[in-house]
Structure 1
Amino acid sequence: MDFTLILVLGTLISGLIWLTDSLLFKKARVRRAATGVVADGSPVVLHEPLLVDYARSFFPILLVVLVVRSFIVEPFRIPSGSLMPTLLVGDFILVNKFSYGLRLPVLDTKILPTWEPKRGDIAVFRYPNDPKIDYIKRVIGVPGDHIRVEGNKLWVNGTPITETYVGVYPGDDGMRMAGATVYRENLLGVKHDVLFEKDGYEKNGEWVVPPHEYFMMGDNRDNSNDSRYWGFVPEANLVGKAFMIWLHWDWKDGKFDASRIGKGIH
């Protein structure tokens, strides 16, 4: 089940239990406690029902988590190497939920427009072919853009995107992509590193980005399942903009890298 739905239901149920008790039952308990005595003459101790006690304790916590996670920031874990060398397998990142508009949890209805994605943003979104799955890629094309890909070459609106040779990639902690070539790409002013393999699979084509949709690609260009294969990302599928790594722990290899903590995502 969707964690957000569980969080919403937990907040709603605990809040209703607490509210119902406060409006209908608490005053009667207080009156009984104030007028009653036990056998030794001592006053009756006011006992709150266990369910109400739990609801009163958990509701504020659940509400704060729901508000922060739905409207401010949400954590994600990077499960694949499609954005190497920018993001590595095992990176735990924070995503700004305010970047692309505030949306109601579960319903995903936008209630407050803020900003639109820009070329070069690293965005989290719900995979168009299965919205239950979250994907993360770099925004390459915004509405109206003409995108052309031929081998390792990229054009945006007829402008060739320049690449500067950086060197040979040594691989991450698990030696993934060791020996690949690193280039510094200048995406119309946004500079970031990309990876290419000598015998990597090429997906060529041309696309015109429709209104309210976006063209996404991974920085690990020969190992990324992105818009070149399954098309555009609707604006309604956007979750937020990734902005920081808060932890790196590759569960598969048991690697912890403190040097990546607090690193900004560009």
Structure 2
Amino acid sequence: MEQNDNKKNAKSELVEWLKSIAIAILIAVLIKTFVFNTTYVVGNSMYPTLYESDRLVAFKLPLYFTDPKPGDIVILNAPDVENKDYIKRVIAVEGDTVQILDGKVYVNGEQIEESYLIGDEYTHIYSENYWIIPEGEVFVLGDNRAEGASKDSRYFGTVKIEEIKGIAKFRYYPFDSRFGKLN
């Protein structure tokens, strides 16, 4: 009789462990799908804000309640390459106009202050220099404005908001002076 009780207890304990593991996996999947994700920086299109190999936390939850705002660093589906993500900064939102003149970026006729750029960096253009941002879309740029350094809205145009996967808010690696909240 005691041996049967031990088998029942072992079986019951195994079932409880399996339930706990399944619940933990489900919670992890739900968090990764709806709350936040991590991303790894490849390339230098966001230099000097982000460096190659930086690791970021990108929040998805805010996108269910509000659209990205100018200044937000976003993770988006690359419009020109399948199964690839880009990290860019939102410069303008629907209804805004963007113009690049003499290397400076103007939104709605006002030159924007870009403290995240190095010095008086020149913003190059590819072909167009004027955009009207349609409803449900944003205009994004990389922080590295050197010629050819960033594929962004100057290259592929505006981005549909539903193509944005998250708003990067925190750098969790490397553990140096750049660790912490993103601007």
TM-score by length of structure 2 reads: 0.83
- Are the counterparts in 1 of residues 100 and 125 from structure 2 also a CA contact under 8 Å? no
Q: SS in structure 2 opposite 1:246?
A: strand
Residue-by-residue CA offset, 1:29-52 (whole Å, 9 max, x unaligned): xxxxxxxx6xxx843623649x97
Taking the aligned partners of 1:232 and 1:241, their CA distance within structure 2 comes to 17
Gaps of 5+ in 1: 1-36, 102-113, 162-185, 249-256
Q: SS in structure 1 opposite 2:38?
A: strand
Distance 1:196 1:60, change over 3 A: farther
Match of 2:91 among 117, 140, 144: 140
> How many residues are aligned here?
177
Shift of 1:264: 1.2
Taking the aligned partners of 2:134 and 2:3, their CA distance within structure 1 comes to 76
Residue-by-residue CA offset, 1:164-198 (whole Å, 9 max, x unaligned): xxxxxxxxxxxxxxxxxxxxxx15xxx43347778
Percent of paired sites with the same residue? 29
RMSD value, Cα = 2.7
Q: Quick check: 1:158 aligned with 2:109?
A: yes
Aligned partner of 2:51: which letter? L
In structure 2, the residue matched to 1:81 is 44
Taking the aligned partners of 1:234 and 1:62, their CA distance within structure 2 comes to 31
Gaps of 5+ in 2: none
User: For residues 37-56 of structure 1, what are the structure 2 equivalents within 5 Å?
Assistant: 42-43=3-4, 45-46=7-8, 48=11, 55-56=18-19
In structure 1, the residue matched to 2:29 is 66
Distance 1:62 1:121, change over 3 A: same
- Are the counterparts in 2 of residues 74 and 94 from structure 1 also a CA contact under 8 Å? yes
User: For residues 89-238 of structure 1, what are the structure 2 equivalents within 5 Å?
Assistant: 89-101=52-64, 114-130=65-81, 132-161=83-112, 186=113, 191-194=115-118, 202-203=125-126, 204-222=128-146, 223-238=149-164
The structure whose RCO (Cα within 8 Å, separation 6+) is larger is: 2
In structure 2, the residue matched to 1:11 is none
TM-score by length of structure 1 reads: 0.59
- Are the counterparts in 1 of residues 88 and 152 from structure 2 also a CA contact under 8 Å? yes
Q: SS in structure 2 opposite 1:100?
A: helix
In structure 2, the residue matched to 1:265 is 182
Q: Report the structure number with the largest CA radius of gyration.
A: 1
Aligned partner of 1:265: which letter? L
- Are the counterparts in 1 of residues 103 and 124 from structure 2 also a CA contact under 8 Å? no
Residue-by-residue CA offset, 1:79-137 (whole Å, 9 max, x unaligned): 11111111111110111111211xxxxxxxxxxxx111111111111112345211110
In structure 2, the residue matched to 1:33 is none
